[in-house]
Structure 1
Protein backbone atom coordinates (compact mmCIF):
# COMPACT_ATOMS: atom_id res chain seq x y z
CA UNK A 1 0.00 0.00 0.00
CA UNK A 2 2.85 2.36 0.87
CA UNK A 3 4.57 1.63 -2.42
CA UNK A 4 1.35 2.36 -4.29
CA UNK A 5 0.96 5.72 -2.48
CA UNK A 6 4.54 6.71 -3.27
CA UNK A 7 4.11 5.75 -6.92
CA UNK A 8 0.83 7.65 -7.14
CA UNK A 9 2.43 10.71 -5.56
CA UNK A 10 5.35 10.47 -7.99
CA UNK A 11 2.97 10.27 -10.99
CA UNK A 12 1.00 13.30 -9.85
CA UNK A 13 4.20 15.24 -9.37
CA UNK A 14 5.39 14.39 -12.87
CA UNK A 15 2.07 15.52 -14.37
CA UNK A 16 2.25 18.76 -12.41
CA UNK A 17 5.75 19.45 -13.64
CA UNK A 18 4.66 18.63 -17.25
CA UNK A 19 1.79 21.08 -17.02
CA UNK A 20 4.17 23.65 -15.60
CA UNK A 21 6.43 23.26 -18.64
CA UNK A 22 3.57 23.35 -21.20
CA UNK A 23 2.15 26.68 -20.04
CA UNK A 24 5.36 28.71 -20.56
CA UNK A 25 5.94 27.01 -23.94
CA UNK A 26 2.40 27.83 -25.06
CA UNK A 27 2.74 31.45 -23.99
CA UNK A 28 6.12 31.78 -25.71
CA UNK A 29 4.69 30.28 -28.91
CA UNK A 30 1.77 32.68 -28.89
CA UNK A 31 4.11 35.64 -28.42
CA UNK A 32 6.30 34.43 -31.28
CA UNK A 33 3.32 34.11 -33.63
CA UNK A 34 2.12 37.58 -32.65
CA UNK A 35 5.57 39.03 -33.31
CA UNK A 36 5.74 37.41 -36.75
CA UNK A 37 2.25 38.69 -37.60
CA UNK A 38 3.21 42.22 -36.50
CA UNK A 39 6.39 42.20 -38.60
CA UNK A 40 4.50 40.87 -41.63
CA UNK A 41 1.90 43.61 -41.24
CA UNK A 42 4.54 46.34 -41.01
CA UNK A 43 6.48 45.04 -44.01
CA UNK A 44 3.44 44.27 -46.21
CA UNK A 45 3.31 46.60 -49.27
CA UNK A 46 0.62 49.28 -49.12
CA UNK A 47 0.30 49.72 -52.92
CA UNK A 48 -2.28 47.79 -54.94
CA UNK A 49 -0.92 46.11 -58.09
CA UNK A 50 -2.67 46.86 -61.36
CA UNK A 51 -5.19 44.34 -62.56
CA UNK A 52 -3.43 42.48 -65.40
CA UNK A 53 -6.74 41.30 -66.81
CA UNK A 54 -7.68 44.85 -67.85
CA UNK A 55 -5.22 44.80 -70.75
CA UNK A 56 -5.41 41.07 -71.49
CA UNK A 57 -6.76 39.72 -74.77
CA UNK A 58 -9.65 37.27 -74.69
CA UNK A 59 -9.74 34.64 -77.45
CA UNK A 60 -13.41 34.60 -78.43
CA UNK A 61 -15.09 32.52 -81.13
CA UNK A 62 -18.18 34.08 -82.76
CA UNK A 63 -19.82 32.14 -85.54
CA UNK A 64 -16.80 29.86 -85.61
CA UNK A 65 -14.50 32.85 -86.26
CA UNK A 66 -11.71 33.66 -83.82
CA UNK A 67 -11.31 37.18 -82.43
CA UNK A 68 -8.81 38.42 -79.82
CA UNK A 69 -10.66 41.17 -77.95
CA UNK A 70 -9.25 43.39 -75.18
CA UNK A 71 -10.96 42.60 -71.89
CA UNK A 72 -11.39 46.29 -71.06
CA UNK A 73 -13.23 46.88 -74.37
CA UNK A 74 -16.02 44.39 -73.59
CA UNK A 75 -19.10 46.38 -72.56
CA UNK A 76 -21.00 43.62 -70.73
CA UNK A 77 -19.48 41.66 -67.82
CA UNK A 78 -21.34 38.51 -68.83
CA UNK A 79 -19.38 38.52 -72.12
CA UNK A 80 -15.94 38.80 -70.47
CA UNK A 81 -14.90 35.21 -70.97
CA UNK A 82 -13.04 33.25 -73.61
CA UNK A 83 -14.55 30.58 -75.82
CA UNK A 84 -17.58 30.45 -78.14
CA UNK A 85 -20.09 33.28 -77.89
CA UNK A 86 -23.12 34.28 -79.91
CA UNK A 87 -22.40 38.00 -79.59
CA UNK A 88 -19.76 40.34 -78.15
CA UNK A 89 -20.28 44.09 -77.65
CA UNK A 90 -17.20 46.31 -77.59
CA UNK A 91 -16.27 50.00 -77.46
CA UNK A 92 -13.06 51.85 -78.28
CA UNK A 93 -11.91 55.41 -77.87
CA UNK A 94 -11.70 57.36 -81.13
CA UNK A 95 -9.33 58.05 -82.78
CA UNK A 96 -6.82 56.19 -80.58
CA UNK A 97 -8.82 52.91 -80.74
CA UNK A 98 -7.69 52.11 -77.20
CA UNK A 99 -10.15 50.40 -74.83
CA UNK A 100 -12.00 52.95 -72.68
CA UNK A 101 -11.05 53.52 -69.08
CA UNK A 102 -13.20 52.73 -66.06
CA UNK A 103 -16.56 54.57 -66.03
CA UNK A 104 -16.67 57.72 -63.93
CA UNK A 105 -19.21 58.01 -61.12
CA UNK A 106 -21.17 61.23 -61.55
CA UNK A 107 -22.45 63.33 -58.68
CA UNK A 108 -25.98 64.70 -58.60
CA UNK A 109 -24.83 68.10 -59.91
CA UNK A 110 -22.81 66.52 -62.74
CA UNK A 111 -25.76 64.36 -63.80
CA UNK A 112 -27.82 67.49 -64.46
CA UNK A 113 -25.23 68.88 -66.89
CA UNK A 114 -25.47 68.21 -70.66
CA UNK A 115 -23.89 64.95 -71.78
CA UNK A 116 -20.46 65.36 -73.40
CA UNK A 117 -20.06 64.41 -77.07
CA UNK A 118 -19.59 60.73 -77.79
CA UNK A 119 -15.90 59.94 -78.25
CA UNK A 120 -16.18 56.20 -78.80
CA UNK A 121 -16.80 53.86 -81.69
CA UNK A 122 -19.02 50.91 -80.77
CA UNK A 123 -18.69 47.46 -82.30
CA UNK A 124 -20.98 44.43 -82.06
CA UNK A 125 -19.73 41.07 -83.34
CA UNK A 126 -22.53 38.58 -83.98
CA UNK A 127 -22.84 35.15 -85.59
CA UNK A 128 -24.73 35.65 -88.87
CA UNK A 129 -26.02 32.06 -89.35
CA UNK A 130 -26.02 32.51 -93.16
CA UNK A 131 -28.26 35.59 -93.11
CA UNK A 132 -27.96 38.05 -95.99
CA UNK A 133 -24.51 39.63 -96.11
CA UNK A 134 -24.30 43.37 -95.30
CA UNK A 135 -22.86 44.33 -98.70
CA UNK A 136 -25.67 42.40 -100.43
CA UNK A 137 -28.23 44.31 -98.34
CA UNK A 138 -26.72 47.61 -99.48
CA UNK A 139 -26.91 46.55 -103.14
CA UNK A 140 -30.30 44.83 -103.24
CA UNK A 141 -32.48 45.90 -100.26
CA UNK A 142 -31.65 49.54 -99.57
CA UNK A 143 -32.21 50.75 -103.18
CA UNK A 144 -35.89 49.77 -102.90
CA UNK A 145 -36.42 52.42 -100.22
CA UNK A 146 -34.10 55.22 -101.36
CA UNK A 147 -35.04 58.52 -102.98
CA UNK A 148 -34.18 58.73 -106.66
CA UNK A 149 -31.80 61.64 -106.27
CA UNK A 150 -28.50 61.67 -104.39
CA UNK A 151 -26.41 64.64 -103.38
CA UNK A 152 -22.73 65.18 -102.66
CA UNK A 153 -21.50 65.01 -99.09
CA UNK A 154 -18.27 66.14 -97.43
CA UNK A 155 -14.95 65.24 -99.05
CA UNK A 156 -16.31 63.05 -101.87
CA UNK A 157 -18.99 61.28 -99.85
CA UNK A 158 -22.40 60.67 -101.47
CA UNK A 159 -25.70 61.02 -99.59
CA UNK A 160 -29.01 59.46 -100.54
CA UNK A 161 -32.11 59.79 -98.35
CA UNK A 162 -34.56 57.02 -97.59
CA UNK A 163 -38.16 57.72 -98.50
CA UNK A 164 -40.72 58.62 -95.87
CA UNK A 165 -43.02 55.76 -94.88
CA UNK A 166 -40.35 53.11 -95.47
CA UNK A 167 -38.69 51.01 -92.75
CA UNK A 168 -35.71 53.42 -92.94
CA UNK A 169 -37.57 56.73 -93.00
CA UNK A 170 -35.73 59.69 -91.42
CA UNK A 171 -32.43 58.02 -92.24
CA UNK A 172 -29.82 58.61 -94.94
CA UNK A 173 -27.37 56.33 -96.70
CA UNK A 174 -23.80 57.56 -97.01
CA UNK A 175 -21.43 55.75 -99.35
CA UNK A 176 -18.07 56.05 -101.04
CA UNK A 177 -15.83 53.73 -103.00
CA UNK A 178 -12.33 54.97 -102.17
CA UNK A 179 -11.93 54.12 -99.37
CA UNK A 180 -14.95 51.87 -99.27
CA UNK A 181 -17.73 53.02 -96.92
CA UNK A 182 -21.45 52.39 -96.57
CA UNK A 183 -23.21 53.78 -93.53
CA UNK A 184 -26.90 54.12 -92.68
CA UNK A 185 -27.40 57.11 -90.40
CA UNK A 186 -30.30 58.51 -88.43
CA UNK A 187 -30.85 62.26 -88.61
CA UNK A 188 -30.20 64.66 -85.77
CA UNK A 189 -33.31 65.23 -83.65
CA UNK A 190 -33.77 65.27 -79.87
CA UNK A 191 -30.64 63.13 -79.79
CA UNK A 192 -27.65 63.29 -82.08
CA UNK A 193 -27.83 61.11 -85.18
CA UNK A 194 -25.92 57.83 -85.18
CA UNK A 195 -24.47 55.80 -88.04
CA UNK A 196 -24.36 52.07 -88.58
CA UNK A 197 -21.83 50.38 -90.85
CA UNK A 198 -21.61 46.61 -91.29
CA UNK A 199 -19.20 44.10 -92.76
CA UNK A 200 -18.81 40.32 -92.74
CA UNK A 201 -15.79 38.32 -91.60
CA UNK A 202 -16.17 34.59 -92.16
CA UNK A 203 -18.94 33.39 -89.81
CA UNK A 204 -19.46 36.74 -88.05
CA UNK A 205 -20.93 40.14 -88.89
CA UNK A 206 -19.28 43.28 -87.51
CA UNK A 207 -21.61 46.23 -86.84
CA UNK A 208 -19.90 49.55 -86.16
CA UNK A 209 -21.80 52.50 -84.62
CA UNK A 210 -20.55 56.07 -84.42
CA UNK A 211 -21.96 59.62 -84.35
CA UNK A 212 -23.19 61.06 -87.64
CA UNK A 213 -21.18 64.21 -86.95
CA UNK A 214 -18.00 62.18 -87.51
CA UNK A 215 -18.77 61.93 -91.24
CA UNK A 216 -16.97 65.22 -91.81
CA UNK A 217 -13.85 63.07 -91.25
CA UNK A 218 -15.28 59.93 -92.80
CA UNK A 219 -11.98 58.79 -94.32
CA UNK A 220 -10.49 58.61 -90.84
CA UNK A 221 -13.55 56.72 -89.58
CA UNK A 222 -13.35 54.22 -92.45
CA UNK A 223 -9.67 53.67 -91.70
CA UNK A 224 -10.43 53.17 -87.99
CA UNK A 225 -12.98 50.44 -88.79
CA UNK A 226 -10.47 48.68 -91.04
CA UNK A 227 -7.80 48.83 -88.33
CA UNK A 228 -10.14 47.50 -85.67
CA UNK A 229 -11.15 44.56 -87.84
CA UNK A 230 -7.48 43.75 -88.45
CA UNK A 231 -6.52 44.13 -84.78
CA UNK A 232 -9.30 41.82 -83.63
CA UNK A 233 -9.23 39.19 -86.35
CA UNK A 234 -6.39 39.79 -88.80
CA UNK A 235 -6.36 40.80 -92.50
CA UNK A 236 -9.47 40.10 -94.52
CA UNK A 237 -9.64 36.59 -95.91
Structure 2
Protein backbone atom coordinates (compact mmCIF):
# COMPACT_ATOMS: atom_id res chain seq x y z
CA UNK A 1 0.00 0.00 0.00
CA UNK A 2 1.39 3.43 -0.95
CA UNK A 3 1.70 5.90 1.85
CA UNK A 4 0.17 9.46 1.50
CA UNK A 5 2.74 12.13 0.91
CA UNK A 6 2.07 15.85 0.22
CA UNK A 7 4.72 15.84 -2.44
CA UNK A 8 2.99 13.06 -4.35
CA UNK A 9 -0.23 15.02 -4.93
CA UNK A 10 -0.35 16.00 -8.65
CA UNK A 11 -3.12 18.63 -8.32
CA UNK A 12 -0.98 21.81 -7.90
CA UNK A 13 0.79 21.16 -11.19
CA UNK A 14 -2.12 22.24 -13.46
CA UNK A 15 -2.41 25.51 -11.55
CA UNK A 16 1.23 26.32 -12.18
CA UNK A 17 0.78 25.45 -15.83
CA UNK A 18 -2.32 27.62 -16.04
CA UNK A 19 -0.55 30.57 -14.45
CA UNK A 20 2.42 30.20 -16.76
CA UNK A 21 0.13 30.23 -19.79
CA UNK A 22 -1.71 33.40 -18.68
CA UNK A 23 1.43 35.35 -17.82
CA UNK A 24 2.26 36.36 -21.43
CA UNK A 25 -1.29 37.68 -21.91
CA UNK A 26 -1.00 39.88 -18.83
CA UNK A 27 2.33 41.23 -20.08
CA UNK A 28 0.95 41.90 -23.59
CA UNK A 29 -2.11 43.58 -22.10
CA UNK A 30 0.06 45.88 -20.02
CA UNK A 31 2.19 46.81 -23.03
CA UNK A 32 -0.93 47.49 -25.11
CA UNK A 33 -2.43 49.72 -22.43
CA UNK A 34 0.80 51.68 -22.16
CA UNK A 35 0.94 52.13 -25.95
CA UNK A 36 -2.66 53.38 -26.08
CA UNK A 37 -1.88 55.87 -23.30
CA UNK A 38 1.15 57.23 -25.18
CA UNK A 39 -0.76 57.59 -28.48
CA UNK A 40 -3.69 59.25 -26.73
CA UNK A 41 -1.35 61.75 -25.08
CA UNK A 42 0.40 62.59 -28.35
CA UNK A 43 -2.80 62.99 -30.38
CA UNK A 44 -4.88 64.82 -27.78
CA UNK A 45 -5.85 68.30 -29.09
CA UNK A 46 -3.50 70.74 -27.40
CA UNK A 47 -5.89 73.68 -27.69
CA UNK A 48 -8.12 72.00 -25.11
CA UNK A 49 -5.22 71.84 -22.67
CA UNK A 50 -4.18 75.43 -23.23
CA UNK A 51 -7.55 76.85 -22.24
CA UNK A 52 -6.72 76.48 -18.59
CA UNK A 53 -3.70 78.81 -18.68
CA UNK A 54 -4.92 80.82 -21.72
CA UNK A 55 -1.54 82.42 -22.48
CA UNK A 56 -1.86 85.78 -24.18
CA UNK A 57 0.55 84.75 -26.96
CA UNK A 58 1.53 81.44 -28.50
CA UNK A 59 4.94 80.76 -30.11
CA UNK A 60 4.07 79.28 -33.51
CA UNK A 61 6.54 78.29 -36.22
CA UNK A 62 5.36 78.63 -39.83
CA UNK A 63 7.81 77.79 -42.59
CA UNK A 64 10.54 77.60 -39.92
CA UNK A 65 9.75 81.23 -39.04
CA UNK A 66 8.76 82.03 -35.46
CA UNK A 67 5.76 84.23 -34.66
CA UNK A 68 4.41 85.12 -31.21
CA UNK A 69 0.73 85.05 -32.11
CA UNK A 70 -2.00 86.64 -29.95
CA UNK A 71 -4.08 83.70 -28.78
CA UNK A 72 -7.45 85.44 -29.03
CA UNK A 73 -6.72 86.64 -32.58
CA UNK A 74 -6.64 83.08 -33.95
CA UNK A 75 -9.82 82.45 -35.95
CA UNK A 76 -9.58 78.65 -36.38
CA UNK A 77 -9.90 76.71 -33.14
CA UNK A 78 -7.62 73.82 -34.11
CA UNK A 79 -4.81 76.31 -34.88
CA UNK A 80 -4.81 77.48 -31.26
CA UNK A 81 -1.68 75.59 -30.24
CA UNK A 82 2.05 76.07 -30.01
CA UNK A 83 4.68 74.54 -32.29
CA UNK A 84 5.05 74.13 -36.07
CA UNK A 85 1.99 74.74 -38.24
CA UNK A 86 1.37 75.04 -41.96
CA UNK A 87 -1.00 78.02 -41.67
CA UNK A 88 -2.61 80.33 -39.12
CA UNK A 89 -5.60 82.66 -39.70
CA UNK A 90 -5.96 85.80 -37.57
CA UNK A 91 -8.19 88.84 -37.13
CA UNK A 92 -7.47 92.24 -35.55
CA UNK A 93 -9.96 95.00 -34.80
CA UNK A 94 -9.04 98.24 -36.59
CA UNK A 95 -7.76 100.74 -35.55
CA UNK A 96 -7.08 99.39 -32.04
CA UNK A 97 -5.45 96.19 -33.44
CA UNK A 98 -6.81 94.24 -30.48
CA UNK A 99 -8.08 90.69 -31.00
CA UNK A 100 -11.89 90.51 -31.46
CA UNK A 101 -13.91 89.99 -28.29
CA UNK A 102 -16.25 87.42 -29.87
CA UNK A 103 -17.01 86.01 -33.33
CA UNK A 104 -19.88 87.48 -35.30
CA UNK A 105 -22.80 85.25 -36.21
CA UNK A 106 -24.86 86.05 -39.30
CA UNK A 107 -27.46 83.60 -40.56
CA UNK A 108 -28.22 82.90 -44.21
CA UNK A 109 -31.61 84.59 -43.75
CA UNK A 110 -30.20 87.84 -42.36
CA UNK A 111 -26.88 88.21 -44.19
CA UNK A 112 -28.26 90.57 -46.85
CA UNK A 113 -30.51 92.60 -44.52
CA UNK A 114 -28.04 92.82 -41.64
CA UNK A 115 -24.58 92.85 -43.20
CA UNK A 116 -22.21 94.20 -40.53
CA UNK A 117 -19.58 96.76 -41.42
CA UNK A 118 -16.09 95.28 -41.55
CA UNK A 119 -13.93 96.71 -38.79
CA UNK A 120 -11.13 94.14 -38.88
CA UNK A 121 -7.87 93.41 -40.61
CA UNK A 122 -7.66 89.73 -41.50
CA UNK A 123 -4.27 88.05 -41.74
CA UNK A 124 -3.28 84.61 -42.99
CA UNK A 125 0.26 83.34 -42.42
CA UNK A 126 1.30 80.30 -44.46
CA UNK A 127 4.52 78.50 -45.37
CA UNK A 128 5.44 79.46 -48.95
CA UNK A 129 7.60 76.40 -49.83
CA UNK A 130 9.73 78.47 -52.24
CA UNK A 131 6.82 79.60 -54.43
CA UNK A 132 7.04 82.92 -56.26
CA UNK A 133 7.40 85.80 -53.81
CA UNK A 134 5.03 88.80 -53.75
CA UNK A 135 7.85 91.06 -54.99
CA UNK A 136 8.58 88.76 -57.94
CA UNK A 137 4.89 88.59 -58.81
CA UNK A 138 4.72 92.40 -58.76
CA UNK A 139 7.66 92.68 -61.16
CA UNK A 140 7.07 89.80 -63.57
CA UNK A 141 3.38 88.76 -63.47
CA UNK A 142 1.19 91.80 -62.82
CA UNK A 143 2.67 94.03 -65.58
CA UNK A 144 1.40 91.56 -68.22
CA UNK A 145 -2.20 92.23 -67.24
CA UNK A 146 -2.21 95.90 -66.20
CA UNK A 147 -3.80 98.75 -68.08
CA UNK A 148 -0.93 101.05 -69.17
CA UNK A 149 -2.64 104.15 -67.75
CA UNK A 150 -1.98 105.13 -64.12
CA UNK A 151 -4.49 106.95 -61.94
CA UNK A 152 -3.85 108.95 -58.78
CA UNK A 153 -6.23 107.91 -55.99
CA UNK A 154 -5.43 109.38 -52.57
CA UNK A 155 -2.52 111.44 -51.25
CA UNK A 156 0.42 109.75 -52.94
CA UNK A 157 -1.31 106.42 -53.61
CA UNK A 158 -1.40 105.31 -57.26
CA UNK A 159 -3.79 102.89 -58.91
CA UNK A 160 -3.66 100.89 -62.12
CA UNK A 161 -6.55 98.75 -63.29
CA UNK A 162 -6.13 95.19 -64.55
CA UNK A 163 -7.49 94.65 -68.03
CA UNK A 164 -10.68 92.74 -68.68
CA UNK A 165 -10.43 89.07 -69.67
CA UNK A 166 -7.29 88.60 -67.56
CA UNK A 167 -6.86 86.52 -64.37
CA UNK A 168 -7.19 89.73 -62.33
CA UNK A 169 -10.16 91.30 -64.14
CA UNK A 170 -12.34 93.54 -61.94
CA UNK A 171 -9.33 94.29 -59.72
CA UNK A 172 -7.00 97.26 -59.33
CA UNK A 173 -3.38 97.41 -58.24
CA UNK A 174 -2.73 100.17 -55.69
CA UNK A 175 0.79 101.07 -54.65
CA UNK A 176 3.02 103.59 -52.93
CA UNK A 177 6.70 103.66 -52.04
CA UNK A 178 6.66 105.86 -48.92
CA UNK A 179 5.19 104.45 -46.80
CA UNK A 180 5.14 101.24 -48.74
CA UNK A 181 1.77 99.77 -49.63
CA UNK A 182 1.12 97.28 -52.41
CA UNK A 183 -2.31 95.70 -52.70
CA UNK A 184 -4.74 94.17 -55.16
CA UNK A 185 -8.26 95.44 -54.58
CA UNK A 186 -11.54 94.15 -55.96
CA UNK A 187 -13.96 96.84 -57.12
CA UNK A 188 -17.15 97.65 -55.27
CA UNK A 189 -20.10 95.71 -56.67
CA UNK A 190 -22.89 93.75 -54.95
CA UNK A 191 -20.46 93.42 -52.07
CA UNK A 192 -17.88 95.99 -50.93
CA UNK A 193 -14.42 95.72 -52.47
CA UNK A 194 -11.64 94.00 -50.53
CA UNK A 195 -7.90 94.68 -50.72
CA UNK A 196 -5.24 91.99 -50.44
CA UNK A 197 -1.68 92.89 -49.47
CA UNK A 198 1.11 90.28 -49.33
CA UNK A 199 4.46 90.28 -47.58
CA UNK A 200 7.14 87.60 -47.24
CA UNK A 201 9.14 87.05 -44.05
CA UNK A 202 11.74 84.28 -44.28
CA UNK A 203 9.82 81.02 -44.85
CA UNK A 204 6.32 82.48 -44.46
CA UNK A 205 3.97 84.56 -46.62
CA UNK A 206 1.65 87.01 -44.85
CA UNK A 207 -1.60 87.95 -46.59
CA UNK A 208 -3.54 90.91 -45.19
CA UNK A 209 -7.17 91.63 -46.16
CA UNK A 210 -9.06 94.86 -45.45
CA UNK A 211 -11.98 96.84 -46.96
CA UNK A 212 -11.25 98.85 -50.08
CA UNK A 213 -12.86 101.98 -48.65
CA UNK A 214 -10.02 102.10 -46.09
CA UNK A 215 -7.77 103.35 -48.91
CA UNK A 216 -8.89 106.85 -47.93
CA UNK A 217 -6.69 106.33 -44.83
CA UNK A 218 -4.12 104.11 -46.49
CA UNK A 219 -1.15 105.50 -44.53
CA UNK A 220 -2.76 104.43 -41.25
CA UNK A 221 -3.60 101.01 -42.70
CA UNK A 222 -0.01 100.51 -43.88
CA UNK A 223 1.26 101.48 -40.44
CA UNK A 224 -1.22 99.09 -38.78
CA UNK A 225 -0.01 96.13 -40.84
CA UNK A 226 3.60 96.91 -39.97
CA UNK A 227 2.66 97.19 -36.31
CA UNK A 228 0.96 93.77 -36.37
CA UNK A 229 4.09 92.21 -37.87
CA UNK A 230 6.46 93.90 -35.44
CA UNK A 231 4.39 92.80 -32.46
CA UNK A 232 4.38 89.15 -33.54
CA UNK A 233 8.08 89.15 -34.34
CA UNK A 234 9.11 90.62 -30.97
CA UNK A 235 10.44 87.95 -28.57
CA UNK A 236 8.26 87.23 -25.59
CA UNK A 237 9.44 88.81 -22.37
Using the TM superposition, name which of 206-215 and 102-111 deviates more. 102-111
1:103 is the counterpart of 2:99: no
Separation in 2 of the partners of 1:160 and 1:107? 36
1:50-89 equivalent positions in 2, closer than 5 A? 53=54, 56-89=56-89
How far has the Cα of 1:140 moved from its partner? Answer: 1.3
Separation in 1 of the partners of 2:197 and 2:98? 20
Separation in 2 of the partners of 1:222 and 1:197? 10
Question: How far does the alpha carbon of each residue in 1:86-121 deviate from its partner, in whole angstroms, 9 at most, with x for none?
Answer: 000000000111000112556999767421210000
How far has the Cα of 1:51 moved from its partner? Answer: 6.8
Separation in 2 of the partners of 1:142 and 1:57? 37
1:125-164 equivalent positions in 2, closer than 5 A? 125-164=125-164
1:177 is the counterpart of 2:173: no
The SS at the match of 2:229 is helix
The SS at the match of 1:169 is coil
1:179-194 equivalent positions in 2, closer than 5 A? 179-194=179-194
Runs of 4 or more, structure 1, over 2 Å off, are 103-114
Using the TM superposition, name which of 137-146 and 108-117 deviates more. 108-117
Greater C-alpha radius of gyration: 1
Separation in 2 of the partners of 1:108 and 1:175? 36
Q: Please, what TM-score do these two structures have when normalized by structure 1?
A: 0.73
1:223 is the counterpart of 2:226: no
Distance 1:52 1:112, change over 3 A: farther
Across the aligned residues of Structure 1 and Structure 2, the Cα RMSD in angstroms comes to: 2.1
State the partner residue of 1:30: none
Separation in 1 of the partners of 2:133 and 2:109? 46
Give unpaired runs (5+ residues) of structure 2.
Answer: 1-50
How far has the Cα of 1:223 moved from its partner? Answer: 0.3
Separation in 1 of the partners of 2:187 and 2:207? 19
How far has the Cα of 1:59 moved from its partner? Answer: 0.6
* Residues 68 and 234 in structure 2, CA contact (< 8 A), matched pair in contact too: no
